[in-house]
Amino acid sequence: MNDNVFEQLDFGPFQPLLENDDITDISYSNNGQVWIRSLTKGNYRTEIAGLDNALVEKLAFQCSNVMGVSFNSANPFLDAESTELRLNFVHESIATNGIALVIRKTPAKIRLEKEKLLKEDYVTSDIHDFLIRCVEGHCNVIVAGETGSGKTEFVKYLASHTKENEKLITIEDTLELHLDRIFPHRDIVAMKTNNIASYTDVLVTCMRQNPKWILLSEVRSAEAVTAVRNSISSGHNILSTIHADKASAIPYRLYSLMETDLDVDQFLSTIYRYIQLGVHIKAYYSTKYQRFHREIDEVCEFYVDDDNKPQSRVLYKKSFEGTAVKQNPSKHLMDYLAAQGIFLENVIDTTANNIGQSQNITTSKSTYNSGNIGNDRIVSNHGGVTTSQIETL
């Protein structure tokens, strides 16, 4: 939908909500209920004077008219998309308790910055710097979390730290990244899948465009997983998002989306070999901060060991109570980064000097490899000394 035409639509009582940068999603349903999702308050219901089914139907018909499509019982679904807004209408013949509308705002800007992330306890300084250095060292990173946790925003932030002379291609089914508009001076191609061009079709063309980085929108289908696997195995670097309840579960979540009898060991070996990091973002209403809070609560390294076995290594894990565990990356990741010209030494602060009290715990390496890691214990093996670190944030 043309942006100029979109700007001419009469949003009526919705307009103040659209102009509020704190609001990311607006939901209208059930004959007048309005629910808001915001960056600071999370989900909450609000009352909007003058907003009813008739006004929403009028907005739907405005969209359908300028798009040249019908919106009625025979065509009960309507999607309208501009550069920074996405609208989805459901006709009352399907939504039996009244017409339904969801408005998603996707502004072309980077909302996150280091000072803001540290001030809001989104991430610790050492973990932040480690992730940025990994992007500079061309690590493949997948960010996990629930809907509304801010996965896409964090991927945009990571992408902003790729080198300016490196070509980026974004592949999305709905436009949200807008990196081509945020960085108009860079070599960025924004591709969008549709009924004619599938993920597979677009990816084939993408490869021929010779990008350094491929940014895939949320991985939620077997086709998208295949696109991820083909991208990383062909030597391209990726940043992407997925729904998963923790970073260490990302490879298995990818496998569960395949819906085939593909050999699990073979699949996981590919994922563990080529995806270096998983990051999990948690979003919740915090009584401590008295606002909706987002934070990185787990960072996990993936690699294939010298015996060709997939291994995961939790580098950072924060419990809901605020207890955090850290350890430095494995030699495999350090060597990978060194080959990219990125040299790290004790990049993750496993001391308690600036965070709180710590306690060393010694355990065996087999405990780590078996996956028996709780919220308060993790294994690290550096220079023949096996230690773990517990920190209280």
In whole angstroms, what separates CA 286 from the centre of its chain? 21
Give 114-344's CATH code, choosing from 3.30.70.360, 3.20.20.80, 3.40.50.300, 3.40.50.2300: 3.40.50.300
Among candidates 161, 158, 154, 160, which has minimal Cα distance to 122? Answer: 154
Identify whether the C-beta of residue 143 lies closer than 8 Å to the C-beta of residue 155: yes
Same CATH fold, 114-344 and 3-105?
A: no
Among candidates 296, 298, 293, which has minimal Cα distance to 120? Answer: 293
pTM: 0.81
- pLDDT tens string 190-230: 998 888 888 888 888 998 899 999 998 788 778 778 878 87
Q: How far apart, in whole angstroms, are the C-alpha atoms of residue 222 and residue 241?
A: 14
pLDDT below 50 — which residues of the chain?
352-393
pLDDT at position 296: 96
pLDDT at position 369: 36
Handedness of CA 243, 244, 249, 253 (dihedral sign): negative
Identify whether the C-beta of residue 149 lies closer than 8 Å to the C-beta of residue 295: no
pLDDT at position 263: 83
Q: How far apart, in whole angstroms, are the C-alpha atoms of residue 344 and residue 133?
A: 9
Q: What is the DSSP letter of 21?
A: T
Identify whether the C-beta of residue 158 lies closer than 8 Å to the C-beta of residue 141: yes
Domain boundaries, the chain: 3-105, 114-344
The neighbour count for residue 122, using CB atoms within 10 Å, is 19
CATH number of 3-105: 3.30.450.370
In whole angstroms, what separates CA 125 from the centre of its chain? 20
- pLDDT tens string 126-135: 999 999 999 9
